[in-house]
Structure 1
Amino acid sequence: MLAKLARATLLSVTVAASAALIGCNESSIKDFVPAKATKELPPAILTKMSSMGMQRNAPIVARIFKEEGKLEIWKQKTNGRYAMIADYNICKWSGQLGPKYIEGDRQAPEGFYTVRPGQMNPNSNYYLAFNIGYPNAYDRANGRTGSNLMVHGACSSSGCYSMTDEQIGQIYAFGRDAFQGGQTEFQIQAFPFRMTAENMARYRNDPNYKFWQMLKEGYDQFEITKVPPKVDVCEKRYVFNRIPENPNAIFSPTGACPSSTTSPELQTAYQSYQSTYQAAFDKALKKSNPLPPRPTILGLEEAKLVADWTHRRARGERITIEPPDLQADGTVKVTDRMGRIDSEVGRKMAAKEATDAEKKRIAEEKALALAAEKAAKIAEKAAKERAAAVAAAAPEQQPPQADAPVAATAAAQTEEVTTSGAPSFFGAVRKRISNIF
């Protein structure tokens, strides 16, 4: 039944791809001119293909797993189903687990993307590269922004999936050969981790869990059929392998999903798969010491914080070495280490900041000098005013000459005071009595 299911799914995918085809043209294939872009796959891989029933130019699909750090290439066999022909350790990817939200958040995307011949870049500054097609219909419907998200060489990433030059040389060759064989586009499935029951149980409390559950439906259907799912977007969400009941109905990314169904074979297989998965999920919840989850992006708020850091870094500003990290309690964690990007723009910014600092220092010293001069003038003026006030008050403090007789009389009167300080009344009486005799 699975072989029949695979053929049916493949047919639906082929029809859908043909309807939306922008096409591979001769000129786009001939653009692969640099020697590094025309290098053949190693003989060992070609031998393995042959033993697995694969043609060299057969279609491919790529799968990416962030937590495991893996990029897989699956290739179509002669029976229509796909099998993994090669896997590579991702040299570097930036950000955390979780989707990309906005330009500058340094998040490597998660979701279902499409690569066409025009997205292949044989002249990349990062050896070889191809654009994964972000933002796709789902991203645009949800207001997510970003550009130039690649799989490339040079092992350097600011939101991309970066490989070694040798690795990207082989991955590029897989895509090139598939296009030359007639494949018009290949799918990239980018996941936070292998979406096993155990991993889903580990991340069940994560704010990105609902998004990951949506991706898991496509993941599961590929696991069942071994054929890349037909991907549509409606009501701002992914839907997989849906067949509209009305042949003229369309899937609008922001509109209501049309009435649709899936093939009976896929429905039966999916229900069986989900039954087994749920039992494994329940068992995983009871595991005593599960592997701790990795840090994840905490939504748009954290994305904005990182984007601001990225833009300041691009301007050459001196900032923290690592981007800010939003914690579950709402606090922001930052490193104490500071620095700036080592580039022409960074050096220009450093020179500008040094010039501005020197201008500020000179202005502050001038302001201090003017303030000191003003204070000295105010003090001098105050001293002069005090001196003038003292001089004006001095004549009033000298006793007048005309008051001398008054002072003498006062002195004479004082002599008539007794030692106790009282007037000499009895002395005057005695003087009159003595005059009588």
Structure 2
Amino acid sequence: MIARIARTGLLLAALAAAGCTESSYTDFAPKANKSLPPKVIAEMNAKGMKRNSPVLARIFKEEGKLEVWKQKTNGRYDIIASYDICKYSGKLGPKFIEGDRQAPEGFYTVRPAHMNPNSSYHLSFNIGYPNTYDRAHGRTGTNLMVHGGCSSSGCYSMTDEQIEQIYAFARDSFAGGQTEFQIQAFPFRMTAANMARYRNDPNYEFWKNLKEGYDHFEITKVPPKVDVCEKRYVFNRIPEGAAAFSPTGACPVSTQPEPLVSAYQTYQKTYEAAFASAVDAKATATKPSIKGIKEAKIVQDWTHRRARGERISIEPPSLEDDGTVVATSRMGRIDSPAGRRMAAAEAEAEAKKKAEEEKLAAKKRAEEEKAAALAAAQERKEATAAQASVVAQQPEATASTDAVAAPPAEEQKSGLLSSVRKRIGNIFGS
């Protein structure tokens, strides 16, 4: 009990030094104080976990999963909950600059001051971007969170029910004395098969660096100690003497625990064999990934134009492998005077285009009708000429007929005269 009180006192002192109070993560909001479901508590007990023991979160973009891991009584961590990420924005790959709408990838630290029980997204906590690695690379961005509301523009968004449970895990661990917990955000589960699938991706070298920390956790089931030197993550390394890690400077001479070194070497041999097999195997299709700072700047420009209220494509543009920029033809909302002016100009141009098309269509119809009328007139003219020709030939045909019929008539007249003469002769006895 005394130890518990002392631990709580140290926690409160740390919070005060950070510029916040315990209300930063407990507050008086009922949604921030909901207990974990009895089923989860029962599973924790079965796995040898205490309700207030430390936690860790892992995120996998491609699989769309957020996992909560919790420390057991033996010091190693085990998974206690897995949630489907409701939505995250951007593509696979790290966040580069403010406005690129990328959800971060890397190793981040969440402290009590990052917890927000009064978030407009139900509940939320800031993941701590940019971290030391991000700053060493000149990366920018603010307010990158895990939150509720199922709406994202660079964050990892959950349902309200999910964020209540995730928030409760973090809240209980802070109450138990954990001063910070680690979030490991990956593009995908860093298996040999997945690494082989993405071996030609422009982000591959960065992902190989993340995989070192991924492997350390897979081997030890303990959150790795994370440092940065030479603009790279280094894990579980202990500098010799008074040396220290400089994010942009040369890495100091350092060591790792011998059991870890041995276990890592064995792990790598197995991985390399699996990777070689995966390269030769038929792989499933990859998902889109951001193509570096160039694409980040293109999306950033889209974000700034959207913020100004300009009427732009409903989705951010993408940079293709051949360097072309592709954007959907669907336009977004109009929510400012500038946007309305743009919409009006577009509508005027569209109306002008439509009127021109209708004018051309009408002209074409008129030409077709004229051609049809000329064709009909020509047909009538030809028909009239043919009829006249027939009429002109009819008298000749009649005369010829009469000429042929005449002899029989003359013959009839001659026969009649002969009959008359014969009768007169009979009268006068001659």
Instruction: State percent identity of aligned pairs.
Output: 69
- Whether the aligned pair in 2 keeps the contact of 1:141 and 1:254 (CA below 8 Å) is yes
Q: Distance in 1 between matches of 2:72 and 2:240?
A: 31
- Whether the aligned pair in 2 keeps the contact of 1:73 and 1:85 (CA below 8 Å) is yes
Q: Distance in 2 between matches of 1:85 and 1:357?
A: 54
- Whether the aligned pair in 1 keeps the contact of 2:310 and 2:336 (CA below 8 Å) is no
Q: Distance in 1 between matches of 2:83 and 2:30?
A: 22
- Whether the aligned pair in 1 keeps the contact of 2:311 and 2:342 (CA below 8 Å) is no
Unaligned 5+ residue runs, structure 1? Answer: 1-20, 359-437
Q: Does 1:232 align with 2:223?
A: no
Q: Distance in 1 between matches of 2:198 and 2:331?
A: 33
- Map 1:374-385 to 2 at 5 A: none
Deviation at 1:24, TM superposition (A): 3.7
1:94-137 alpha-carbon deviations (Å, 9 max, x no partner): 00000000000000000000000000000000000000000000
Residue 21 of structure 2 aligns to a residue whose secondary structure is helix
The code of the aligned residue for 2:272 comes to Q
Q: Distance in 2 between matches of 1:79 and 1:197?
A: 29
Q: Does 1:255 align with 2:249?
A: yes
Taking structure 1 as the reference length, the TM-score comes to 0.74
Residue 220 of structure 1 aligns to a residue whose secondary structure is helix
Match of 1:326 in 2: 319
Query: Where does structure 1 differ by over 4 angstroms across 4 or more consecutive aligned residues?
Result: 351-358
1:299-352 alpha-carbon deviations (Å, 9 max, x no partner): 0000000000011011110011111110111111111112236xxxx1443345
Match of 2:410 in 1: none
Match of 2:264 in 1: 270
User: How has the CA–CA distance of structure 1 residues 348 and 250 changed in structure 2, closer, same or farther, with 3 Å as cutoff?
Assistant: same
User: Which residue, 297, 313, 318 being the options, matches 2:290?
Assistant: 297
Q: Does 1:65 align with 2:60?
A: yes
Deviation at 1:254, TM superposition (A): 1.2
Match of 1:46 in 2: 41
User: Which residue, 104, 107, 112 being the options, matches 2:107?
Assistant: 112
Q: Distance in 2 between matches of 1:278 and 1:23?
A: 44
Deviation at 1:30, TM superposition (A): 2.8
Q: Distance in 1 between matches of 2:254 and 2:346?
A: 66
Q: Does 1:93 align with 2:82?
A: no
User: Which residue, 292, 306, 318 being the options, matches 1:313?
Assistant: 306
1:347-372 alpha-carbon deviations (Å, 9 max, x no partner): 443345578999xxxxxxxxxxxxxx
User: Which residue, 333, 343, 350 being the options, matches 2:339?
Assistant: 350
Deviation at 1:25, TM superposition (A): 4.7
Deviation at 1:28, TM superposition (A): 2.6
Residue 56 of structure 2 aligns to a residue whose secondary structure is strand
Q: Does 1:176 align with 2:171?
A: yes
Deviation at 1:243, TM superposition (A): 0.7
Deviation at 1:47, TM superposition (A): 0.6
Match of 2:119 in 1: 124
Residue 330 of structure 1 aligns to a residue whose secondary structure is coil
The code of the aligned residue for 1:272 comes to T
Match of 1:208 in 2: 203
Q: Distance in 2 between matches of 1:354 and 1:214?
A: 46
The code of the aligned residue for 1:265 comes to P
Q: Distance in 2 between matches of 1:44 and 1:350?
A: 51
Residue 319 of structure 1 aligns to a residue whose secondary structure is coil
The code of the aligned residue for 1:50 comes to N
Superposed CA RMSD: 2.0
Q: Distance in 1 between matches of 2:298 and 2:13?
A: 37
Q: Distance in 2 between matches of 1:285 and 1:271?
A: 21
The count of residues paired between Structure 1 and Structure 2 equals 334
Unaligned 5+ residue runs, structure 2? Answer: 1-11, 348-430
- Whether the aligned pair in 1 keeps the contact of 2:311 and 2:343 (CA below 8 Å) is no
Deviation at 1:235, TM superposition (A): 1.0
Q: Distance in 2 between matches of 1:109 and 1:282?
A: 29
User: How has the CA–CA distance of structure 1 residues 325 and 356 changed in structure 2, closer, same or farther, with 3 Å as cutoff?
Assistant: closer
- Whether the aligned pair in 2 keeps the contact of 1:313 and 1:340 (CA below 8 Å) is no
Deviation at 1:256, TM superposition (A): 1.2
- Map 1:144-223 to 2 at 5 A: 144-223=139-218
Q: Distance in 2 between matches of 1:190 and 1:180?
A: 24
- Whether the aligned pair in 2 keeps the contact of 1:29 and 1:180 (CA below 8 Å) is no
1:69-116 alpha-carbon deviations (Å, 9 max, x no partner): 000000000000000000000000000000000000000000000000
Q: Distance in 2 between matches of 1:111 and 1:354?
A: 41
Taking structure 2 as the reference length, the TM-score comes to 0.75
Deviation at 1:261, TM superposition (A): 1.1
User: How has the CA–CA distance of structure 1 residues 356 and 68 changed in structure 2, closer, same or farther, with 3 Å as cutoff?
Assistant: closer
1:268-300 alpha-carbon deviations (Å, 9 max, x no partner): 00000000000110110111x210111100000
Q: Distance in 2 between matches of 1:324 and 1:113?
A: 28
- Whether the aligned pair in 2 keeps the contact of 1:24 and 1:184 (CA below 8 Å) is no
The code of the aligned residue for 2:321 comes to A
Q: Distance in 2 between matches of 1:46 and 1:142?
A: 42
Deviation at 1:221, TM superposition (A): 0.3
Q: Distance in 1 between matches of 2:346 and 2:332?
A: 17
Residue 183 of structure 2 aligns to a residue whose secondary structure is strand
Q: Distance in 1 between matches of 2:199 and 2:94?
A: 16
